Amino acid sequence: MEENYLTSVRKQFEYYKLLGDRSFDQLSEKELFWQFNPESNSIAVVVKHLWGNMLSRWTNFLEEDGEKEWRNREGEFEADIASREEMLAKWEEGWTCLFSALDCVTEENFGQTIYIRNMGHTIVEAINRQLAHYTYHMGQIVYIGRMLKGAEWQSLSIPKGGSKAYNEGKFAQPKRKAHFTDEFLKEDQK
């Protein structure tokens, strides 16, 4: 069961990272830093927050509390990233930290308690907590991108008006065991 869970959750994290990557590809540097108003976050600020959270939660995942003393959460919401390249470097650093931590989870340590702000979590609870948090922010990134691009936005899933054809294609195939992210992740590897 542990291996099945870890494989599934890794694919889900990869899928949500891919949604961010595909969103960034559609946006100009100026659009990555656009804010609706002074109190709202730009995509770059959301990425900076994700980066800070990922480094804190996943660095020494099995040994240390997930809220590190060195984390500056308030600073994560300061709009001080200077370029697309800097934003993407933080994005990649955060995800690399996350995937490295997942690789350290084994059948032998799967029952270990993980602490976040001194609150104990099972490994499943700690991972699910972060998966939910990151998908919340992926939705923000995609929504901002869609608002900015309007009709030029390239759908990241089933295009509007394409549900019938998509479902027909799925139901034309035999029943099988597959993860819902497989087709999206395979497309990205082309």
Domain ranges in the chain are: 2-154
φ, ψ of residue 184 to 5 degrees: the values are: -70, -40
Exposed / middle / buried, residue 178 (Cβ in 10 Å: 0-12, 13-18, 19+) = exposed
Collapse the DSSP code of 111 into the 3-class scheme (helix H, G, I; strand E, B; otherwise coil) and give the result: coil
What pLDDT does residue 106 have? 93
What pLDDT does residue 178 have? 79
Compute the distance between CA of residue 49 and CA of residue 68 in angstroms, rounded to an integer. Answer: 14
What pLDDT does residue 159 have? 86
- Two tokens, residue 153: 């936005």
Pick the CATH number of 2-154 from 3.40.50.740, 1.20.120.450, 3.40.50.300, 3.40.50.720: 1.20.120.450
Q: Give the tens place of pLDDT for each residue, 102-146.
A: 999 999 999 999 999 999 999 999 999 999 999 999 999 999 999
Average pLDDT of the residues of the chain: 94
| pLDDT < 70 stretches in the chain | 1, 184-190
Judge whether 50 and 91 are in contact, CB under 8 Å: yes
Nearest to 77 by CA among 50, 54, 56: 50
